Amino acid sequence: MIGTGSAFAKKYDNNNAIIEANNYKLLVDCGITLPKALHEQGLSFPELDAVLISHIHGDHVGGLEEYAFQMMFKYNRKPILYLAESLVEPLWENTLRGGLTQGSLNTLEDFFEVRPLAPNKDIQLNSGLTVRLLQTKHIPNKPSYSFIFNHHFFYSADMRFDPSLLQQLSDEGVTTIYHDCQLEAPGVVHASLEELLKLPEALQKKTWLMHYGDAIEQYKGRTGHMRIVEQHEKYEIN
């Protein structure tokens, strides 16, 4: 976990991760704090094989400008960018166009090897790593996607409380859930801890909390059967 913090957290970096399988490194989201957080952990952009974006909020895409510029001008390479088909146009037009455009370089494809993904399909990214995009509820009329890796690891983007979806995923074989968590209720556009504590015990035991605020230390021992994902830690998902 490169970071585990919410958009407003100051003690914790933006909730961004690296999924590693067979020496293939997939960056999951690239938020505002990602370039500095990556550097502080002794990693650099060319070590990443690709980046996967969930939605276009700054704590998930705010580091893409530096990523693109470093790879183009320092390493002479186009990074691979995976994202849902519905995010390609808004990512460029609403987020990156103003900062990246220069001269004839004026499309997302000028800076990234763009690989649009269709949702609800298992797609092999590399040997030993598949992903399925699920559109989940976050901000009305702004598409946001969570991910299922290798059929059994659910990694939420920002999403509202959806217990029926979590139960369905569990019934279909998901064994580990990394879920964003707003510590103080009401959650509004995130699942709150109060809501997540209403999950059945069996689901709580599969659930790890991430994307939390700076007050997380005060909640240790108060998260039911759910565990807390720690920043800068490496976890093995079986």
Residue 1 covered by a domain:
no
Q: What are 205's two structure tokens?
A: 């035991």
Note whether residue 155 is domain-resident.
yes
State the average pLDDT for the chain. Answer: 97
In a domain, 10, yes or no: no
β partners of residue 126: 129
In a domain, 64, yes or no: yes
Q: Is the CB of residue 197 less than 8 Å from the CB of residue 224?
A: yes
CATH number of the domain residue 196 falls in:
3.60.15.10
Cα dihedral 29→32→36→42 (10° resolution): 0
Amino acid identity, position 37: A
Flag whether 233 is in a domain: no
Confidence of residue 237 (pLDDT cuts 50, 70, 90): very high
Please tell me the predicted confidence (pLDDT) of residue 169: 98
Query: Looking at the domain assignment, is residue 81 inside a domain?
Result: yes
d(CA 33, CA 16): 9
* Residue 238, pLDDT above cutoff 80: no
Helix (H) or strand (E) holding 190: none
| pLDDT bucket at 187, cuts 50 / 70 / 90 | confident
pLDDT tens digits, 43-85: 999 999 999 999 999 999 999 999 999 999 999 999 999 999 9
Work out the average pLDDT over 138-150. Answer: 95
Residue 51, domain extent: 17-228
CA 130 vs. chain centroid, Å, equals: 15
**Domain contains 234:** no
Total Cβ atoms within 10 A of residue 135: 16
Is residue 212 in a domain?
Answer: yes
The count of domains in the chain is: 1
Provide the pLDDT confidence category of residue 206 given band limits of 50, 70 and 90: very high
How many other C-beta atoms are found inside a 10 Å radius of the C-beta of residue 95?
20
